[in-house]
Amino acid sequence: MKRSGSQASQKGPLECFIGTVRIDPLFQAEEPGRVAGAYVTFEPCSRSNWHTHPLGQTLIVTFGRGLHQRWGGPVEDIGPGDVVTVGPDERH
Amino acid sequence: MKRSGSQASQKGPLECFIGTVRIDPLFQAEEPGRVAGAYVTFEPCSRSNWHTHPLGQTLIVTFGRGLHQRWGGPVEDIGPGDVVTVGPDERH
């Protein structure tokens, strides 16, 4: 069991984000599993740079309002309860 | 994108739960991925029966207070921010 507050927050690395973003690790699967989860908290006006994930990413919005865009696609408004699935190597 | 409210809630099946439990699906990985996620909401005094997961389970507590127990282990109080990792075929 990982108790609330027992895992240190990290700052989103400068090469990945613009503005202040906090990353709170939640879990990391043991081998051969590869899934990991974290809370990522964006201050107003912060954002990630365009990027991809080799195995894709699922975003579950828990709080606030935000914008999400896939490369070449429309900007989409997202809010609590929305789930965004991004495929392997899909730029977003 | 799965919009909030677009995925129907399910009732926790009677053979798995005691009391009223709501399951709100979030995501299901495409093959060959096998990970899936859902919100599971327990009414007061409801609980799951003893069970296992072939690939294990990670519980991320988002709201309320609850109790968790591994077979043969102590009853543990859990609350928001706690993360419980249950291994493959570990009874809980």
pLDDT for B67: 98
With cut-offs at 50, 70 and 90, classify the pLDDT of residue B32: confident
The answer to whether residues B40 and B20 touch, using CB atoms and an 8 Å cutoff, is no
Contacts of B83 in chain A (CB under 8 A): 1-2, 26-27
User: By the CB < 8 Å criterion, does A64 face chain B?
Assistant: no
- Look at residue B61 and tell me whether its pLDDT is greater than 90: yes
- Tell me the whole-structure pTM to 2 decimals: 0.92
CB-nearest partner of B81 from A5, A33, A80: A5
Contacts across the A-B interface (CB distance below 8 Å): 57
Q: Which amino acid is at B52?
A: T
Report the alpha-carbon distance of residue A26 to residue A3 in Å, rounded.
10
pLDDT digits (tens, 9 = 90+) for A6-56: 999 999 999 999 999 999 999 999 888 899 999 999 999 999 999 999 999
State the ipTM, two decimals.
Answer: 0.89
Q: What is the pLDDT at residue B12?
A: 94
Percentage of residues in chain B having pLDDT higher than 90: 95
DSSP symbols for chain A: -B-TT-S--EEPPTTTEES-EEEEEEEEPPTT---EEEEEEEPTT-EEPS---TT-EEEE--SS-EEEE-TTS-EEEE-TT-EEEE-TT---
Distance of CA B54 to the CA centre of its chain: 14
